[in-house]
C-alpha cells in the first residue's frame, strides 16, 4: 500500500484507541470478576504483556501497510504516539473509574494492597516496626495514584515509561531495507 493513501494521524489514533479499549476491557472484566486481581503483581505483568503484544502487532501492521520497511526512528515515533494516545485515554478512564463509577474502589484497593504488602513483608521476615512504618506510605501512594490530580501529576513519569516501552517495542517493529553487497 502506498504511504500517500494512509493517514498517519488516523493510524496513530486508531492504534492508541485499540490498546486503550483492550486495557479498559481487561480492567472492567477484572473489576467485575474479582477486584483482588487488580492488585496482584502478576496481573500487572499480564497487562504489560498484552499491551506490548498489541503495540508490536499494530506497529508491524502499519509497517506492512506502508511498504514493509520502517526505520527504528520512525518505528519509535509511531509506537510512542500510539502508546501516548492509549495512556491519555487510560488516564481519563481511571479518573472516571475511581471518582465516578466507583468512588469506593480506591479504598478497597488500598486495603488489598496493604494486606498483600504486609503478608509479603512478613514472609520475608521484616520486623514489625518496618511493616508498620510502610503502611502509611502505601496508603498515601494509593490515594495519590487514584485521585484526579494524582493521575495528572503522574503523566510525566507515565510518558517516560511509555517511551521506554515504545523503545523496546520498536526493536520488534522496525525493519530496514536490505542492502545488496553486489557490485554491478
pLDDT digits (tens, 9 = 90+) for 26-46: 999 999 999 999 988 899 899
Range of the domain at 76: 3-173
Beta-ladder partners of 175: 70
Q: Would 184 be classed as within a structural domain?
A: no
Q: 151 exposed, middle or buried (CB, 10 Å; 0-12, 13-18, 19+)?
A: buried
pLDDT category at 128 given cuts 50, 70, 90 is confident
pTM (2 d.p.):
0.87
pLDDT digits (tens, 9 = 90+) for 74-86: 999 999 999 999 9
pLDDT digits (tens, 9 = 90+) for 45-95: 999 999 999 999 999 999 999 999 999 999 999 999 999 999 999 999 999
Cβ distance 31 to 38 under 8 Å?
yes
First CA to last CA distance, the chain = 30
Return mean pLDDT, the chain: 91
* Number of separate domains in the chain: 1
Number of residues in the chain? 184
pLDDT attached to residue 84: 97
pLDDT category at 99 given cuts 50, 70, 90 is very high
Q: Would 118 be classed as within a structural domain?
A: yes
Q: Would 180 be classed as within a structural domain?
A: no
Q: Would 178 be classed as within a structural domain?
A: no
Q: Would 17 be classed as within a structural domain?
A: yes
pLDDT attached to residue 117: 86
Predicted confidence (pLDDT) at residue 1 exceeds the cutoff of 50: no
Q: Which three cell numbers stand for residue 68?
A: 514493509
Q: Would 181 be classed as within a structural domain?
A: no
d(CA 103, CA 6): 42
Amino acid at each position: 500500500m502506498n504511504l500517500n493513501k494512509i493517514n498517519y494521524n488516523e493510524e496513530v489514533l486508531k492504534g492508541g484507541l485499540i490498546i486503550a479499549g483492550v486495557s479498559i476491557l481487561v480492567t472492567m472484566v477484572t473489576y467485575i470478576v474479582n477486584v483482588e486481581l487488580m492488585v496482584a503483581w502478576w496481573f500487572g505483568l499480564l497487562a504489560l504483556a498484552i499491551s506490548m503484544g498489541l503495540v508490536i502487532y499494530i506497529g508491524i501492521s502499519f509497517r506492512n501497510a506502508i511498504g514493509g520497511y520502517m526505520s527504528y526512528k520512525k518505528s519509535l515515533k509511531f509506537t510512542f504516539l500510539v502508546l501516548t494516545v492509549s495512556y491519555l485515554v487510560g488516564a481519563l478512564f481511571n479518573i472516571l473509574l475511581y471518582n465516578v463509577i466507583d468512588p469506593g474502589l480506591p479504598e478497597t484497593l488500598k486495603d488489598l494492597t496493604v494486606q498483600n504488602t504486609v503478608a509479603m513483608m512478613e514472609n520475608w521476615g521484616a520486623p514489625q516496626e518496618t511493616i508498620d512504618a510502610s503502611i502509611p506510605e502505601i496508603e498515601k501512594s494509593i490515594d495519590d495514584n487514584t485521585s484526579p490530580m494524582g493521575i495528572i501529576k503522574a503523566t510525566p513519569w507515565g510518558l517516560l515509561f511509555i517511551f521506554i516501552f515504545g523503545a523496546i517495542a520498536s526493536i520488534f517493529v522496525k525493519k530496514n531495507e536490505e542492502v545488496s553487497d553486489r557490485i554491478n
